Amino acid sequence: MPIPPAPALVLTPSERQRFNQAVTNTGLDPDAAWKNIINVTASGSIPSNYITTIQVQSVEQLNTIVGTPNSPFKNPAVANALPVPEAIGAPNLAATSREALGASLSPAQFRHLKLSADAHVFGDSSRATANLALVNTLLYPIAVDVVAAQSLTLEPGATLSLGGNYVVLILGSLSIGAGAQIASTANTVVNVQVAYSAND
């Protein structure tokens, strides 16, 4: 039985506006990004000319780039979706070197900091404010690979491999052919307006 072709994925004006805003939040030009049309025909990674590596200076900036709203995580049904760590006492951050500060924390405290960062970026940031100064001092800046494109198409059977830095895909449309998949070994966020998968 032949595989039906993927439908044309056309953005509405409001979807295009959301795409433009997401690209703008990374510091890139949405009109230039809209010219990018990426087709993955076989297993491999995204060609380097479509990747822009930016330096993200704080967890607040990463939250803006990822664009996760807080409100869904204030719903009692998902209030415990992310554990929120306890506040970690810290010396005067301005008077303590990053190395000394890191050495003063236990492995458990360091894990708490990472949970604080995740809660801020993907959950309810108001529940993670106690450790933000410490998070920004120890975990930032970080490199983020941004891929912004009008469309990303994975042909049938193709595997898109992502890895290395934190990855943010900002896409107008995503089309995944039969048997195709995205495999990531990096922290990866996909911001897509319209999507189609032949695997559903």
Summarize pLDDT for 138-164 with one digit per residue, the tens: 899 999 999 999 999 999 999 999 998
Cα–Cα distance list, 98 to 62, 85, 113, 138, 183 (Å) = 20, 21, 14, 6, 34
Summarize pLDDT for 9-37 with one digit per residue, the tens: 889 999 999 999 999 999 999 999 999 99
Taking the model in full, what pTM does it have? 0.84
Q: Where are the domains of the chain?
A: 13-55+142-197, 63-138
Q: How many Å apart are CA 3 and CA 12, to the nearest integer?
A: 27
The residue that leads in pLDDT, 6 or 1, is 6
Q: Which two structure tokens, joined as six digits, stand for 135? A: 């998070």
In this structure, the strands spanning 51-56 and 159-162 are: unpaired
Report the pLDDT value the prediction gives residue 78, as an integer from 0 to 100: 44
Averaged pLDDT for residues 50-70: 88
The residue that leads in pLDDT, 112 or 55, is 55
Report the pLDDT value the prediction gives residue 108, as an integer from 0 to 100: 82
* pLDDT at 2 exceeding the cut of 60: no
**C-beta pairs of 15-18 under 8 Å, 24+ apart in sequence:** 15/172, 15/193, 15/194, 16/172, 16/193, 18/193
Q: How many Å apart are CA 54 and CA 142, to the nearest integer?
A: 8
